[in-house]
């Protein structure tokens, strides 16, 4: 039950650091969680790039003196310096508890056999002492270390009980106690290591070297730490991408499942971002480095997962604070149980024996592991699916949420407008409407222009060659071409070109009621038709909202968009509570009001303009962390990919983990009550007490590890149909 070692905190912003410090509780609380299986499950040290996962611009680690590397090489023959990677723990580091446990059992059995076969007492004593040394040394060292910090922990209780049994001549029972205690520690060490495999697997994803392109086009192999922002590397088919960057040349598909959790490979071409640790599949790519090795998305994820595993839940912090007092009380009660009957003339050997049994069965091992096992397992499971929880406490915070508040643009919607309707007028064809609009918008960088050009390209319509383009902000854009003067814009813009927009008014009113932005398109005085553009819902958003409702959560939309637009999107997604026209301060006030009236709120946003609401909510959840620094720094939970359909899984996992914590606590306390009761009435032997005590600890651990197997629910509801660009044709 050892806690994870210290982890880098540089990935958190100042506000998050203060919040974590305020919730961490008193320092120096070690108790059982800090001592059992000491050193057995500590993961290997992080490599330089992960250890120094800090925002770009800070000193880099991994090269001498923090240098980013000169970028010069003598030639291909110059062997790159190998990257400093974490050494795999050796056999003894991984298995020393199991070896000592086996030695404890072997010596115990040898001692028992020596006694049963009538060997000299010195022979059986020799084997029992060896059993004590093998099974008790780790616990004794850990208990003494805690005692130097004025903490009494479970290891010390077990060692004292074993020594007391030896003092009474019950060597066999004392050795049995140490064997079962050591076996419990070994099993917990192996079990808890499963929750850390996600980190080790992530650390192994990024290659150690990269092929940097020289100015002449030749390649040189260099350590990843020597790459600088602006360098260009070559990535061949079937290779993992070694660093974050932007595709400069080439096209391929990239498997990003390890970073974003996306289930299918993503097409990549010039201008697209790629991430370290992802797998290039079909084509060769030239990638321009955009982040140093110390600041890749992979390094940040590793650091965040470790930080989350180090951070404790509220229940765990409470248990840790109580544990010191409880362990001290157990020692005091055992001393009274031994001392008071002696004053009344009770048999000393029997009295001390019962006190030792009481000390063992009342120890809080199972209680102490009740929270860490499910919380760490939940954090590891979520990380494996592209969901980062920045602390163990957010598992319980998520479970307490009653309201899920969503930003609209970029969270519930795609964040970019798309053509939803093309309505020809006056005998014009759909193709003519799109071609006129695309010709006018061809040289524009406006988001609406990009939507029109994308719709035309999707239908194989090529804009005509245009010149003398003129844009009037707020009205429209026009360009002269072989078609004539093509234009697209508002009704007023149509009138300026001699067209009469009155024929389009009924269509425009209908589309406006649906929350869509309407453009008129034409050539010269001829009005050809209407084009409606709208920011459409994300795939899976409707299913996610429905799943949250089924889970008893209340979805609410908080947006700065116009009320009519917000109501249309909300209706498409099944959200009935909508608050529109909100500035960032208004979203914050809405979160405060929802918290007062309905219960704890989780805010889901993009981590930028939603920052005040994310900070004020019980849990802040950021969408699309890939490439969004603010999301990683401000939110409590990060969905690395843009898959909003993962939200129901996050809440389900948190609720399951929290239920498991309380199941473990109820079970552990019940076992303690039963064992203590049997001890007080004199019906429990030391060996059986140890078996019940350690057995309950292992069962609590295994119950918590079930969180590793939780999977997203499969809903039968069909996915919502994509909004067709042919609607209204």
Of the residues 407, 535, 606, 642, only one is catalytic, namely: 407
Strand order of the β-sheet with 219-223 is 219-223, 209-213, 232-235, 285-289, 245-249, 273-274
Q: Are 699 and 186 in contact (CB under 8 A)?
A: no
SS3 of 58-97: CCCCCCHHHCCCCCCCCCCCCCCCCCCCCCCCCHHHHHHH
| 6: DSSP letter | P
Structure tokens at 144: 């003494």
H helices of 636-685, where?
Answer: 647-680
Name the residue among 383, 488, 387, 504 with its Cα closest to residue 446. 488
Token code pair at residue 247: 């595709």
CA 112 vs CA 103, 122, 153, 158: distances in Å: 14, 12, 30, 21
What string of DSSP letters covers 568-587? HHHHHHT--EEE-S--HHHH
DSSP state, residue 641:
S
Tokens coding 24: 């961490």
Helix (H) or strand (E) run with residue 375 in it? helix 372-384
Q: At what angle do helices 686-705 and 171-193 cross, to 10 degrees?
A: 0
Separation of CA 428 from chain center: 53
CB 133 within 8 A of CB 100: no
Q: What six digits make up the tokens of 641? A: 């990919």
Do the beta carbons of residue 536 and residue 508 sit within 8 Å? Answer: no
531 DSSP β-pair partners: 422, 519
Q: Alpha carbon of 153 to those of 143, 331, 396, 540: distances in Å?
A: 6, 10, 26, 49
As a whole number of angstroms, the distance between CA 52 and CA 61 comes to 6
Q: What is the DSSP string of 525-563?
A: TEEEEEEEEEEEEPTTHHHHHHHHHHTT-EEEEE-SS-H
CA-wise closest residue to 50 among 94, 8, 4, 87: 8
Residues 6 or more apart whose CB falls under 8 angstroms from that of 645 comprise 539, 540, 541, 543, 544, 547
Structure tokens at 273: 């971002």
Backbone angles phi, psi at 429, to 5 degrees: -100, 160
- 687 within 8 A of 176, measured Cβ to Cβ: yes
Parallel, antiparallel or unpaired: strands 484-489 and 476-481: antiparallel
Reduce the DSSP state of residue 405 to 3 states and report it. Answer: strand
407 classed as catalytic: yes
Strand partners, 422: 531
Apex CA 602: angle with CA 652 and CA 665, to 5°?
A: 45
| Euclidean distance between CA atoms 633 and 451, whole angstroms | 31
- 51: which residues sit within 8 A by CB, 6+ positions away? 8, 45, 61
Residue 633 is encoded by which pair of tokens?
Answer: 């720094």
Q: Provide the annotated active-site residues.
A: 407
């Amino acid at each position: 039950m050892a806690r994870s070692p210290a982890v880098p905190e540089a990935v958190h912003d100042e506000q998050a650091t203060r919040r974590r410090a305020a919730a961490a509780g008193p320092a120096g609380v070690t108790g059982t969680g800090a001592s059992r299986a000491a050193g057995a499950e500590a993961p290997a040290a992080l490599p330089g790039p992960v250890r120094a996962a800090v925002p770009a611009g800070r000193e880099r680690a991994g090269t001498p003196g923090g240098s980013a590397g000169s970028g010069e090489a003598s030639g291909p023959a110059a062997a790159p310096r190998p990257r400093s990677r974490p050494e795999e723990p050796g056999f003894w580091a991984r298995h020393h508890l199991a070896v000592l446990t086996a030695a404890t059992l072997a010596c115990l059995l040898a001692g028992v056999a020596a006694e049963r076969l009538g060997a000299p007492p010195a022979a059986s004593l020799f084997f029992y002492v060896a059993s004590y040394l093998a099974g008790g040394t780790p616990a004794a060292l850990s208990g003494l270390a805690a005692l130097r910090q004025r903490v009494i922990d479970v290891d010390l209780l077990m060692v004292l009980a074993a020594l007391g049994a030896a003092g009474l001549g019950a060597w066999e029972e004392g050795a049995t106690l140490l064997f079962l205690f050591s076996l419990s520690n070994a099993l917990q060490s192996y079990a808890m290591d499963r929750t850390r495999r996600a980190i080790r697997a992530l650390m192994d994803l990024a290659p150690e070297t990269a092929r940097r392109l020289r100015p002449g086009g030749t390649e040189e192999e260099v350590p990843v730490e020597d790459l600088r922002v602006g360098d260009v590397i070559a990535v061949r088919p079937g290779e993992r991408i070694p660093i974050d960057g932007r595709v400069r040349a080439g096209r391929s598909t990239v498997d990003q499942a390890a970073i974003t959790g996306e289930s299918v490979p993503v097409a990549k071409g010039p201008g697209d971002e790629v991430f370290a640790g992802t797998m290039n599949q079909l084509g060769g790519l030239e990638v321009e480095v955009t982040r140093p090795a110390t600041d890749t998305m992979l390094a940040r994820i590793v650091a965040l997962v470790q930080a989350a595993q180090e951070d404790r839940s509220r229940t765990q912090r409470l248990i840790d604070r109580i544990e010191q007092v409880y362990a001290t009380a157990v020692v005091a009660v055992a001393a009274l149980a031994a001392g008071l009957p002696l004053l009344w003339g009770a048999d000393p050997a029997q009295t001390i024996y019962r006190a030792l049994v009481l000390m063992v069965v009342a120890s809080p091992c199972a209680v102490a592991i009740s929270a860490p096992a499910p919380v760490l397992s939940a954090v590891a499971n979520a990380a494996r699916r592209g969901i980062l929880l920045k602390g163990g406490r957010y598992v319980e915070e998520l479970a307490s949420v009653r309201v899920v508040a969503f930003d609209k643009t970029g969270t519930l919607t795609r964040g970019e407008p798309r053509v939803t309707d093309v309505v020809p007028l006056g005998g014009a064809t759909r193709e003519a409407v799109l071609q006129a609009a695309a010709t006018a918008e061809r040289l524009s960088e406006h988001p609406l222009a990009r939507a029109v050009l994308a719709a035309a390209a999707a239908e194989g319509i090529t804009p005509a060659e245009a010149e003398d383009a003129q844009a009037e902000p707020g009205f429209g854009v026009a360009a002269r071409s072989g078609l004539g003067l093509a234009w697209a814009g508002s009704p007023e813009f149509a009138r300026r070109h001699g067209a009469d927009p009155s024929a389009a008014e009924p269509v425009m009113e209908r589309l406006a009621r649906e929350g869509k932005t309407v453009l008129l398109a034409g050539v010269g005085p001829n009005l050809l038709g209407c084009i409606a553009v709208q920011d459409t819902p994300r795939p899976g958003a409707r299913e996610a909202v429905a799943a949250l409702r089924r889970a008893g959560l209340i979805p609410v939309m908080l947006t700065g968009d116009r009320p009519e637009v917000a109501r249309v999107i909300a209706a498409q997604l099944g959200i009935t509570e909508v608050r529109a026209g909100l500035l960032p301060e208004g979203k914050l006030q809405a979160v405060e009001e929802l918290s007062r009236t309905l219960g704890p709120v989780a805010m889901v946003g993009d981590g930028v303009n939603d920052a005040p609401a994310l900070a004020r909510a019980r849990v802040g959840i950021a969408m699309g962390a890939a490439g969004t620094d603010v999301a990683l720094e401000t939110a409590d939970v990060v969905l690395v990919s843009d898959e909003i359909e993962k939200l129901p899984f996050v809440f389900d996992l948190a609720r399951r983990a929290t239920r498991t914590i309380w199941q473990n606590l109820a079970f552990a306390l019940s076992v303690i009550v039963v064992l203590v009761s049997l001890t007080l009435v004199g019906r429990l032997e030391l060996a059986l007490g140890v078996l019940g005590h350690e057995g309950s600890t292992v069962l609590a651990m295994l119950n918590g590890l079930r969180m590793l197997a939780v999977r997203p629910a499969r809903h039968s509801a069909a996915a919502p149909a994509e909004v067709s660009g042919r609607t209204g044709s």
